[in-house]
Homo-oligomer: A and B are copies of this chain.
Amino acid sequence: MSFTSQEMSSDSLVEVSGRRFRHLKTVLKLKKGDELRLGMIGGRIGRGQIIDESQESCHIQFVLDRNPPVPLPVHLILALPRPKSLPRILHLATNMGVKEITFINTWRVEKPFWSSDYLDQASVEKACRLGLEQAVDTIMPKVNFERRFRPYVEDRLPQICARTCNYLAHPYSQALNQNQILAEIESHQKFCLALGPEGGFIPFEVECLRKAGFRPFSFSQRVLKLEAALPALLSQFTHS
C-alpha cells in the first residue's frame, strides 16, 4: 500500500479511507494491531501498524526504513494495445518493476486506439499507481506515446538503445538464449524489449527494428496473449 507525501506529511501517522481502507478490511482482512508493508510515492518503504479504526477509516503508525525494490532494467517498447487492455498492461508492467514504457504505432494498431480516454494522463497514472501499490514500490514509471512509427524507430530509437541490449519478441524467429540474457543481467546490462501487436509486427517493421539494433527472438512455442507474454518475458529479465 502506498501514499503520497502529502498523506504522509505527519512523520509517523497516516489516515486510510475509501478504496484502500476497503482493501485493508475485505481483501487483506486486517484489524487493529495488525501490521502491513507500505511506502511513500517517490520515496522509501517500510512497515506500519493499524492503531485505531472506525467503520470508514483507520490510522496507521509507520516507519519508512528501506529503499523501494530494485527496478527492472527494462525499457519496454510496446505496440499500443486495444484501449481496454491498456490499464491492465500498465498495471502488469508497473507491478513487475518496469520504469519506462513507450507505446508505439504499428501497421496492426487500429487508428481509433490513439484517441481513447485510456491514454489520458490521469488514467495512465491511476493504473501505474495500482501496480506500484501492489508491489509495495514507490517509483512511478515514465510512460511515452509515440504516434509515428518511422520517425521514432528510424530517427530516435537508435540513440535511445545505443547502450542497451535490445530484443524484439517475434514468433518463429530464433529461440531466446536464456544463458546469454543471464550473463547480460549479471554484467548489469540494461535492456530494451519490443513487443508487437496482436498478429505481430509486419516484416517491414521487423526490418526497421532490426536496423535500429534489435535482435528478434521467439519465446514460446505458443502464441501468447500480451497479458501472458509480458509477465512471462519480463520474468526472464529479472535478477533472481
Residues of A within 8 A of B (CB): 26-29, 37, 69-70, 88, 91-92, 95-97, 108, 110, 131, 134-137, 175-176, 178, 198-199, 220-225, 227-236, 238, 240
| Contact between A198 and B28, CB atoms less than 8 A apart | yes
Contacts of A92 in B (CB 8 A): 225, 227-228
**Copy number in this complex?**
2
In the complex formed, the residue of B with least CB distance to A23 is B198
CA gap between A110 and B178 in the complex, in Å: 40
Supposing A231-B231, A232-B232, A235-B236 touch, asked if A199 and B137 sit within 8 A by C-beta, the answer is: no
A-B contact pairs, 17 of them (CB 8 A): A27-B108, A28-B198, A29-B199, A69-B222, A92-B225, A95-B225, A96-B224, A96-B228, A96-B232, A97-B222, A136-B223, A176-B240, A228-B231, A229-B231, A230-B231, A233-B235, A235-B235
In the complex formed, the residue of B with least CB distance to A130 is B225
Contacts of A199 in B (CB 8 A): 27-29
Q: A27 CB to closest chain B CB, in angstroms?
A: 5
| Contact between B70 and A223, CB atoms less than 8 A apart | no
CA gap between A238 and B91 in the complex, in Å: 24
In the complex formed, the residue of B with least CB distance to A238 is B220
| Contact between A108 and B223, CB atoms less than 8 A apart | no
